[in-house]
Structure 1
Amino acid sequence: MSRRRRRGTRPRWRARDLPETSGKPNALVGQLCHVTSNTARAIAGGCLAAPFVALLWVPFYAGGGPSLAGVPFFYWYQMLWVPLSVLLMFIAYLLLRR
């Protein structure tokens, strides 16, 4: 029995369609499937909004603050958000991919 799908549409995968490993269902998929799409979208939205809020709130980091290895707080706070933003975007991607 073959399933036909319209051109340009993506197949919908379910946990039962994934291959089994050593006779046991894929446990990771079962653990991740309990997140609803609305919850995932809300978490992903928070992950994407956090860098904007943190970096656009300039009075927080414009004043004098602790220096790190001689680098003023103003600079290392912004540079800290570069890898942190990448991590948050990756988390949002994982939550929203289908």
Structure 2
Amino acid sequence: MSNDPEVSRTVVTPARVAIAVCLVAPFVAMLWVGSYAKTDPAFIGIPFFYWYQMAWVLISTALTVTAYKLWQRDQRARSTQQGGASK
């Protein structure tokens, strides 16, 4: 039985929760149509419905980059923990 592959367990960490929030927030914002299905307030003549969605393109980009950076940091921390545990 010593030849069994090591089973890695998924650990919920604050970083992973933050990653999930960053990735889910744009979906929730876009699927909750009632929150932005209106024309006022207009921004430089553009109805709220349109500029809200365009703003979320930029916000989603920033959140995705943040999630990616958090994921990289989490993976580096895991690899150093696993490397330190085996020595």
TM-score by length of 1: 0.60
Q: Name which of 27, 51, 61 aligns with 2:36.
A: 61
Q: Name which of 54, 59, 67 aligns with 1:84.
A: 59
Q: How many residues align?
A: 63
- What is the rounded CA distance, in whole Å, between the counterparts of 1:42 and 1:66 in structure 2? 33
Structure 2 unaligned spans of 5+:
1-10, 76-87
Residue equivalent to 2:70:
95
1:88 maps to a residue whose letter is L
Residue equivalent to 1:40:
15
Q: Percent identity?
A: 49
Partner-residue secondary structure (3-state), 1:92 = helix
Residue equivalent to 2:3:
none
Deviation at 1:69, TM superposition (A): 0.2
In the alignment, does 2:27 pair up with 1:52? yes
Deviation at 1:64, TM superposition (A): 3.2
Residue equivalent to 1:21:
none
1:43 maps to a residue whose letter is A
Structure 1 unaligned spans of 5+:
1-35
2:14 maps to a residue whose letter is T
Which structure is richer in relative contact order (CA contacts within 8 A, separation 6 or more)? 2
TM-score by length of 2: 0.68
1:80 maps to a residue whose letter is A
